[in-house]
Amino acid sequence: MLIRNAVDADLVSIQAIYAHWVTHGTGSFELEPPTVDEMAKRRADVLSKGLPYLVAEQGGVIVGYAYANWFRPRPAYRFSVENSVYVDKGAHRGGVARLLMAELMTRCESAGARQMIAVIGDSANAGSVGLHSAMGFRHIGTLQSTGWKFGRWLDTVFMQRQIGFGDTTPPAA
């Protein structure tokens, strides 16, 4: 398995992976899958902040992707990032997400991030909650019934993990 920076040529695969989970899952609260052009804009936004946007490639096929962006858009949040990880439906439970998360945390630390926050759609999303727990995240809170999808209310789970020096020292510049 190769974990590498995503390039423009990966966007069709990235969009297809995400479209499946938007259409069939509750991990994202989007209701309609974004286009490849929209995914390209989102990736450009992440990269403009010096943050990582990664893919997992196996046998020449993109089987997952991950990125981090500022937790909130205001500049004071620039040391706190929110992660996103999506794995192709055919590669689920194969360790792809764990490899992507490990590399994402390393690269976010190198980019100066101090806190990583997971905003998990659906409190019943045991796979995502379990992944984050296994990666050292702790449960911060649950916002109840914040999303309406597939004819039911969904919770939003917040999990957090310090990376690098966390809050033990001031950030550089």
For residue 138, the enclosing domain spans 2-162
Amino acid at 168: T
168 inside domain: no
Number of structural domains in the chain: 1
Q: Name the H helices within the chain.
A: 11-24, 36-48, 96-110, 126-134
- How confident is the model over 74-122, as pLDDT tens digits? 989 989 999 999 999 987 777 999 999 999 999 999 999 999 999 999 9
- How confident is the model over 15-38, as pLDDT tens digits? 999 999 999 999 999 999 999 999
What's the CATH code of the domain at 16? 3.40.630.30
Q: What does the buried/exposed string (b/e) look like for 69-104 if buried means 16 or more CB atoms within 10 Å of the residue's CB? A: bbbeeeeeebbbbbbbbbbbeebeebebbebbbebb
169 inside domain: no
144 inside domain: yes
135 inside domain: yes
172 inside domain: no
26 inside domain: yes
How far apart, in whole angstroms, are the C-alpha atoms of residue 66 and residue 105? 10
Predicted model pTM: 0.94
